[in-house]
Amino acid sequence: MHDGADQAGERRLLGASGVEVSALGFGADGWGAKLRGYNKLFGDEDLYGAYRAALDAGIDFFDTAPAYGRGKSEELLGRFRRQDGRPALIATKYDNPPFPIPLVKSPTPKALTLSLDASLVRLGLERVDLFQIHYPVPLRRIDEFADALASTVRSGKARAVGVSNFNASLVRAMHAALARCGIALASNQVAFNLLDRSIEINGVLEACRELNVALIPSVPLAVGILSGRCWRGEAPMNGVQQAYLRQSKLDPFHLRTPATLAHTQEGRMKRALSAPPAMRNLGMLFAAMQTIAETRGKSLPQVALNWLLTVDPLVIPIPGAKNAVQALDNAGALGWRLTPAECLSLNPSLSHAGTDGGS
């Protein structure tokens, strides 16, 4: 755990790239997405309010991708940046398919560079601060894609380059391949939060620490589940949250080994989705979060985000927000730090006994 006190204006480095960003970023993955409520639950004015509130709070690192809202997220982010006028650091991605798709061409280095060109047009920029490969590429093609990433830095179209959803082996391979090009691997964006802590045991966090690669938690609030509303029975899980639980490894206490996790996953999801009470097998975690929140005068999301900031100085969470209120609540995770005792209360080693009891 990182014990240094957090300041509201704290900056963190994207690995060895030399690019410095706010310790807490902003994920714009829901922007422009109709399935996420765009133009129904929130609109452009709400999003602009969120953008401005984030900058007001010292958060200047914004993450997007062409797939977010089918390019709308990038367009909105670029427009807001021009409207507001203040400096903002922008990260986007090459949206290679997450798995082979019939009749769809495999990702290529050429497609990567063309993707960045298209993103720059949508963003209205000449350069992004971080350009990432969205999904893993075959190990045998790491050198090709490393060369393509390096070319975006050399051309001045990207200040730094990173990856997303790479396992430990691929992180090491990409780091080595980029090093041969004289370029640092700046970051790896992966799922990491108090519910999904698999990177603590699968080698990803260890590899990032060893290689000085920033780790960007892509779903730091578990798509809103860590707000606690479902746990308290205040609201049912929405479709996005249910889909997240189906895809993620719901084993925050590391009770299952990789060999047994798959066998127990279905039953744990059914219990998590059952109501009432919602997610009762996670009651100890939420109870510990609630105790900290009440003592500190903080919200549950602020506790969850502060925990991530405490894990290591290389961790840069990017929670999303669709209005100014949400953006300001996220910013409330800055300016304070969980104590070692509070971190221990969220430690899975102290939560083994009874976590499945009665569920």
Q: What is the pLDDT of residues 162-220, one digit of tens each?
A: 999 999 999 999 999 999 999 999 999 999 999 888 999 999 999 999 999 999 999 99
Give the pLDDT of residue 83.
98
Give the pLDDT of residue 230.
78
Which structural domain range is residue 173 located in?
11-223+300-341
Report if pTM > 0.85: yes
Statement: residue 351 has pLDDT above 60: no
Task: Specify if 253 maps to a domain.
Answer: no
Task: Specify if 280 maps to a domain.
Answer: no
Task: Specify if 189 maps to a domain.
Answer: yes
Give the pLDDT of residue 357.
33
The residue among 251 and 345 whose pLDDT is bigger is 345
Task: Specify if 250 maps to a domain.
Answer: no
Task: Specify if 48 maps to a domain.
Answer: yes
Task: Specify if 154 maps to a domain.
Answer: yes
- Residue 2's nearest CA partner among 223, 263, 10 is 10
Give the pLDDT of residue 251.
54
What DSSP state is assigned to residue 195?
Answer: S
Give the pLDDT of residue 48.
98
CATH number reported for the structural domain that contains residue 114 in this entry:
3.20.20.100
Report how far residue 325's alpha carbon sits from residue 53's, in angstroms, rounded to the nearest whole number: 8
- Identity of the residue numbered 331: A
| Tokens matching residue 89 | 């650091």
- Identity of the residue numbered 97: P
Give the pLDDT of residue 232.
77
Report how far residue 125's alpha carbon sits from residue 62's, in angstroms, rounded to the nearest whole number: 14
Give the pLDDT of residue 358.
34
Task: Specify if 61 maps to a domain.
Answer: yes
DSSP 218-286: SSTTGGGGGGSTTTTTSS---HHHHHHHHHS---TT--S-HHHHHHHHHHHHHHHH-TTTTTGGGHHHH
Residues taking part in catalysis = 68
Mean pLDDT of the chain, nearest integer: 86
For 142-162, what is the mean pLDDT?
Answer: 98
Task: Specify if 2 maps to a domain.
Answer: no
Give the pLDDT of residue 2.
58
2 CB-near residues (< 8 Å, 6+ apart): 309, 310, 311, 312, 313
Segment among 29-38, 54-63, 72-81, 280-289 with least mean pLDDT? 280-289
Give the pLDDT of residue 133.
97
Number of domains in the chain: 1
